[in-house]
Structure 1
Amino acid sequence: METDPATHSAISGDEAQRIANRGNGGRDDASDVTRQWQGCRVLVIGDIVADEHVTGRPHRIAREAPVLVLEHTGSTLNPGGATNVAANLVALGARVALAGVVGDDQTGRELVIGLRDRGMDVAGVMVDPSRPTTTKTRIWAAGAQQQAQQLVVRLDRLDNRPLDPTVITPLVAYLEHAILETDAIVISDYENGVIHPEIIEACLPVARARGVTVVVDAHGGLARFRGATIFTPNQPEAETELGHSLTGDAGVETGARTLLDRLDAKAILITRGQEGMTLVTRDRPGAFHIAAHTMPAVDPTGAGDTVAATFTLAWLAGADASIAATLANTAASIAVSQAGTIAVTAAELRQTIAARRLPHASP
């Protein structure tokens, strides 16, 4: 059966960009949207992760095993998980409050200081001495003249146990107050134990009653968040929730529409890696398919966090959902073009929008 072209859109990343560039001189102009969202208040709740990147120069092969010996050349500690969502929101111009848990360790202290220095409200970050700060260490072998890097290994330090009641109680108390002073909530669940049923119960009913936008970026168990406004799963997460694989644009569209109804949401944005994104919304039939940008991807780490942050702000700015998805797609392409977890700024996003306004684009 043929699909009505008015309700089923399958376009390239560049064509989506041209649509975003044209806009209508108002809320649907992509650059204008990035200005409209400045100062929006967003509460981020979820698993706080430290992304550590260690770089070394290949020196020789080890005697004890056929593995590289690297000479250390540098280390960085970046926000990951929920903190990467929050960092992207701040970089894009939002006022951000973060709620989550760190361990009583040096990594946690360094991470929180760094987040505070970015201008983030970290009053909702609780310290749990019984667990380490979740840390993902990536070790990179640097190429010639530091121009290329190869990921050698990743080491995770984490504790997936549910939170202790002594941590849940003050965290819930904080959330009950913070929800009253925010425009949107982003729930970032990396399944590291922070998104406890009591946390969900403290957020969703109140947010829905107050008309606060709730965006869920969860690695599993989407049904727990039924009634949230927006879900941004990747395709494997959507397939797990549905219990079957999704093939092609049509299959992903059908699956997204099923999730939309099952989760009682207003929008489902499924990220599909090299296949781009698929968006379905409650207020229109069909789907909006956006191909991935053709620029090379260096490191996909944190791209989903960038998508969730950008789509949230564009939604709050009143942009058409297709424009919001196009902006999220563009921001993600910036994030993956560099190694490590990257917080994309509003200026970078506007520059990229302008750069991709090709000479033959429609006026």
Structure 2
Amino acid sequence: MKSIEEVFEAFKGKTVLVVGDVVVDYYLRGNVSKISKEAPVPVLTLEKRERRLGGAANVAMNIRALGATPILCSVVGDDPDGEAFEQLLEYEKMPNKGIIRSQNRVTTTKLRITSGLQHLIRVDNEDVHPLVDLDQKSLLHHIKNLLDECDLVIFEDYDKGTINPKVIKETIKLANEKNIPIAVDPKRRNFTKYQGVSIFKVNIADLKDGLDIEFDALEEKELSDAASKLKASVNADNYLITLSKNGIFYDSGKESGKLKSHPRQIVEVLGAGDTVISIAGLCLTLGLPIEFIAELANIGGGMVCEMAGVVPIDKEMLFKEAKENPILGKYL
């Protein structure tokens, strides 16, 4: 790759299989002007209703926003919210060939009620038990059939039950046989099950939870020790640890480092991890250096925090900022 333009152009030729827990995000937005007489709670005057694709589906939205082609592989309920999910896929012109409708589950939903930029409450409806055998077999069947179309697999794990050790092991085996790289965004339940992947990306909170450790990410020695514990627990080619407002840590075995975050007007931090794993995964398919991968993902993750709700990256904004970035410029 000789330029940022070539990198972004190359994204267009990639197809990504996104395996994980999908969500329908509902939003009720309005303003609070009084307290209820019935109970000491705010009364929201409703101004806007929204529904969006969330969870692993937001990763797919990011992949598409970057110019590549996503294929979602997941299990939703055979219920009205499952129907809503497929309607959103159709509206976004994304394929549903990897989606299984199951009578054994409910579709995961998150309802956020906000006044301006203030969150008042979030209501979750979910079923987090592991897949029944029939649904697991169907999911693995879809993964096996879809892999030949793909240049990358992303596991987006929200601990909602779609992903389990067998799904992980079988998918990694199949992908490795086809030399397809794998990027992972894990949660606690399956944290150490992702062995032999290409990129293991985790945020500070999930790293502490996944390994049952405590450390101060601002202390270089403590961060380095935590990274060493991660490498001892999970075998991966590359590691990314997102540090919230403090940037990102990367380690490829051959090189490691910490990159600072960029100044932002933070609105919400929803969905930043989805953007990071999407950018990192696509860069991986192009054989780009780990510092480049980390910095472009670092820029994108911060950028979406300037927007309200769970939203994918704006490709043009990312491109504009990437062109001026001195770290990326070192490699192109």
Q: Which TM-score applies when normalising by structure 2? A: 0.92
> Which residue matches 1:302?
271
Give 3-state SS (helix, strand or coil) of 1:295's partner. coil
Task: State the Cα distance separating 1:31 from its structure 2 match.
Answer: 4.2
Deviation at 1:213, TM superposition (A): 0.6
Counterpart of 1:69 in structure 2: which amino acid? V
Equivalent residue for 1:185, pick from 153, 158, 170: 153
Could you tell me how far apart the structure 1 residues matched to 2:104 and 2:165 are?
20
Tell me which residue corresponds to 1:280.
251
**1:262 corresponds to 2:233:** yes
Given candidates 30, 37, 40, the residue that maps to 1:63 is: 37
Counterpart residue number, 1:321: 290
Query: Counterpart in 1 of 2:299?
Result: 330
CA distance in 2, matches of 1:105, 1:152: 27
- Give unmatched runs, 5+ long, in structure 1: 1-25, 143-148
Q: Tell me which amino acid in the other structure corresponds to 1:242.
A: L
2:321 corresponds to: 352
**Structure 1: distance between partners of 2:273 and 2:325:** 24
Structure 2: how far apart are the matches of 1:357 and 1:166?
Answer: 49
Distance 2:93 2:232 in 1: 38
Counterpart check, 1:230 vs 2:192:
no
The number of aligned residues is 326
Which residue among 44, 50, 71 is the counterpart of 1:97?
71
Shift in Å at residue 357 of structure 1? Answer: 5.5
Answer yes or no: is the 8 Å Cα contact 2:31–2:44 preserved in 1.
Answer: yes
| Distance of 1:290 and 1:357 partners within structure 2 | 12
Match of 2:96 in 1: 122
The alpha-carbon deviation at position 172 of structure 1 amounts to 1.3
SS at match of 2:96: strand
Between the two structures, name the one with larger relative contact order (CA 8 Å, sep ≥ 6).
1
Please list every run of at least 4 consecutive aligned residues from structure 1 whose deviation after the TM superposition is greater than 6 angstroms: none
2:187–2:210 CA contact under 8 A, matched in 1 = no
Query: Where does 1:1-363 land on structure 2 (aligned, <5 Å)?
Result: 26-27=1-2, 29-142=3-116, 149-220=117-188, 221-247=190-216, 248-282=219-253, 284-285=254-255, 287-354=256-323
What SS is found at the alignment partner of 1:170? helix
Q: Does structure 2 conserve the Cα–Cα contact (< 8 Å) formed by 1:44 and 1:86?
A: yes
Counterpart residue identity of residue 281, structure 2? T
Is the CA contact (8 Å cut-off) linking 1:276 and 1:290 kept in structure 2? yes
* Identity %, equivalent residues: 28
Q: Distance in 1 between matches of 2:203 and 2:187?
A: 8
Gap runs ≥5 in structure 2? none
TM-score relative to the length of structure 1: 0.85
CA apart distance, 1:261: 4.3
